[in-house]
Amino acid sequence: MKKLVLVLAAGISLASAKAQIQYGVKAGANFAKITGSDADGTKGITSFNGGIFVGIPLAHGLSLQPEVLYSGQGAKISYGGGDDSKLKLGYLNVPVLLKYTLPFGVSVQTGPQIGFLLSAKDKATVNGQTASVSVKDEFKSTDFSWDFGVGYVTPFNIGIEARYGLGLSKIGKSDDSSDPTPNIKNGVFSVGLFYVLGGSSKKK
């Protein structure tokens, strides 16, 4: 029994020694929109994202990748007659992705994401006059989505990535109990670069 415990302990120690936890930084562009049955008259906007990530090895080619990102989201809203507004939503997003990397550096990833609303501003132009107001109280403080992505990392630890965040929860809220919650959700396509600061992106 003691020998078995020693063998298991040695195996775990060896696996831990071989496993390299990666961490790094990333930044890119967001092509965000609002979806749902109450999103008529909205168009997409371009913003940015950036943050940090950690890659935790689970098995050969398979890893868990939690991230902490700032993400600019929202939409353009047209009212007709030249009146419109730009809704800018700022989130602190925390995706936790399951990532599989092929030997030649291409990876696929998917997993849940929770977003914490940091800011919400509506920059409106009405009758030729422009004003920006905070509308944070009109939106829920958290957002849930599911991410799908692909990426490629070079032997120099620099990579490129594309991802889509499919909104799962309604982001608007209603203060009137007789008025249903607006059916609007986030949808974000993002592209960007990342750099692995620690660990190694090379396959053994």
CATH number, domain of 69, equals: 2.40.160.20
* Inside any domain, residue 6: no
pLDDT number for residue 72:
98
pTM higher than 0.75:
yes
- Encode pLDDT of 147-196 as tens digits: 999 999 999 999 999 999 999 999 998 766 666 788 999 999 999 999 99
Q: Residue 139's domain spans which residues?
A: 21-198
Tally of structural domains, the chain: 1
* Inside any domain, residue 15: no
pLDDT number for residue 185:
96
* Inside any domain, residue 169: yes
* Inside any domain, residue 9: no
Cα atoms in the Cβ-side hemisphere of radius 13 Å centred on 102: 8
* Inside any domain, residue 82: yes
pLDDT number for residue 77:
85
* Inside any domain, residue 13: no
* Inside any domain, residue 7: no
Residue count of the chain: 204
- Give the mean model confidence (pLDDT) for residues 118-137: 86
3-state secondary structure 18-77: HCCCEEEEEEEEEEEEEECCCCCCEECEEEEEEEEEEEEEEECCEEEEEEEEEEEEEEEE
Q: Is 66 in contact with 53 (CB distance < 8 Å)?
A: yes
pLDDT number for residue 16:
41
pLDDT number for residue 131:
81
pLDDT number for residue 184:
94
- Encode pLDDT of 4-61 as tens digits: 445 444 444 444 444 689 999 999 999 999 999 988 889 999 999 999 999 999 999 9
pLDDT number for residue 8:
42
* Inside any domain, residue 35: yes
